Amino acid sequence: MAVAQQQRQATGESLMQKCKPYVAMVSLQFGYAGMNVITKVSLNHGMSHYVLVVYRHAFATLSIAPFALVLERKVRPRMSFWVFLQIFVLALLGPVIDQNFYYAGLKFTSPTFSCAMSNMLPAMTFVMAVIFRMEKVNLKKARCVAKVVGTLVTVAGAMLMTLYKGRAVEMVWTKHMHLHGPHQDAVAAAAADKDWLRGSIFLIIATLAWASLFILQAATLKRYDAPLSLTTLICFVGTLQAIVVTFAMEHSMSVWKIGFDMNLLAAAYAGIVTSSIAYYVQGLVMQSRGPVFASAFSPLMMIIVAIMGSFILAENIYLGGIIGSVLIVAGLYSVLWGKHKENAEKKEDEAMEIPVAIKGVDGNGRVMDIVELDEVQLEKAQVNGKAAAAAAHEHAAVVAVAVPAEEARMQGKDEA
């Protein structure tokens, strides 16, 4: 009975461990969805998106900085001019360009539309990586074809959403919310169409900026390998840059006023939840399950936002948006599948490159540990003085370490 109970407990704990990444990623999507809806309400109430960006990243800096100071105090590398320049550009791409254009696009469109457009990120990142030669495309391989086709399908979905709005698709629970006269609906639709195209272009620019940030951030982390500190510095420098942009774009000091209202909630929620907690949780999930697993949940946010937006904001969902969203999600998963296959191939290649040690006996009766190395490993071994002897033949070499005959006889007795 006791053994059976222990087995059940072990099975339950194992199941909980397996479920944790799924629960974490689903919770994150609800957190992101809440940010989109709350921000939309704040923007509708007249808050300047320039000011919102400043307050958001100020909250983000204050919430991430303590963890960076404590957890990375021993591993934080020295700051160089080149790294600072990269951080300056990262702050310009992320907090300033991406966030301002995203909020502007959100203001002119809808939370569901904005979330659908953000699913273009993996495809755009792939295109940027190819342009900067960080990724190679071999159309003879299925994974490369999947990424190229997925990118094209994603772009087609984004173009469809931008250029074709279509008729409004009413949900069962929203029919009672749209009881306006036909003339009012026509006037509202004409006014909305003027801003829809502009908002779509803003969202595409924001996604391009975010993809560029990923490419540059990957390069910066090689020089400054302290993720929390890097994020803190990006948020801090981005806050300063956003302040300058806000003073240039908003000439009234009244826009800076903020009280205990929806504007404060939007800034604090976006800064603390989506820029701090979400960063940490997503980092843990990516560490255990990989980036492809984390990215695969992003379409769920779009569904959650669509439901929340139709309830809270009485948001219209249009036919063009639905068709475009389906294409974007299909392209997203095609790109992610290709990336998953690429990661699997890399792991196989790394496993094949591990040196294999075998035992042999020389003519004097001494046991030798023979380790197969490639030319690069051989050169390293010779420089570091770790190799006792080496003989190269074409692209392979062996390193022999002698063991006294007395020890060999002892090993022989043990094996017998």
Task: Note whether residue 112 is domain-resident.
Answer: yes
Please give the share of the chain, as a percent, with pLDDT higher than 70: 74
Residue 244 placed within a domain: yes
- The residue range of the domain holding 281 is 20-136+190-301
**What band does 83 get if pLDDT is binned at 50, 70 and 90?**
very high
Band of the pLDDT at 390, cuts 50, 70, 90?
very low
pLDDT value at 278 more than 60: yes
For residue 288, report the phi and psi dihedrals to the nearest 5 degrees: -90, -35
Q: Which residue stretches of 224-290 are H helix?
A: 227-249, 262-268, 278-289
Beta-sheet strands, E only, within 118-204: 168-169
Helix (H, G, I), strand (E, B) or coil at 222: helix
In a domain, 169, yes or no: no
Please compute the mean of the pLDDT values over residues 340-367 and round it to a whole number.
Answer: 61
pLDDT, greater one: 165 or 173: 165
Q: Which residues pair with 377 in a beta bridge?
A: none
Tell me if 3 is assigned to some domain. no
Q: In this predicted model, what pLDDT tens digit does every residue of 115-143 receive, in sequence order?
A: 888 888 888 888 888 888 777 888 888 98
Phi, psi of 317 (to 5 degrees): -110, 125
Rounded Cα–Cα distance for residues 104 and 109 (Å) = 9
Structural domain count, the chain: 1
Nearest to 119 by CA among 276, 300, 341, 313: 300
pLDDT higher than threshold 70 for residue 191: no
Q: Provide the pLDDT for residue 241.
A: 96
pLDDT at 189: 55
pLDDT classification of 194: cutoffs 50, 70, 90: low
Task: Give the best-scoring range by mean pLDDT among 44-48, 52-56, 261-265.
Answer: 52-56
Q: What is the pTM of this model?
A: 0.73
pLDDT at 389 over 50: no
Residue 104, pLDDT score? 93
Give domain status of residue 121, yes or no: yes
Q: Report the SS3 class of residue 136.
A: coil
Residue 90: the pLDDT is 93
Q: Find out whether 240 and 94 touch, Cβ atoms under 8 Å.
A: no
Q: Single out the residue of 37, 32, 49, 39 nearest to residue 96, CA to CA.
A: 49
- What six digits make up the tokens of 125? 């990142």
User: Across the chain, what does the average pLDDT equal?
Assistant: 78
State whether the Cα torsion 88-91-92-96 is positive or negative.
negative
**Domain presence at residue 4:** no
**Which pLDDT score, from 0 to 100, does residue 52 have?**
94
User: Does residue 144 sit within a domain?
Assistant: no
Separation CA 279–CA 192 (nearest Å): 34
Share of the chain above pLDDT 90, in %: 26
198: in domain: yes
Residue 402: the pLDDT is 40
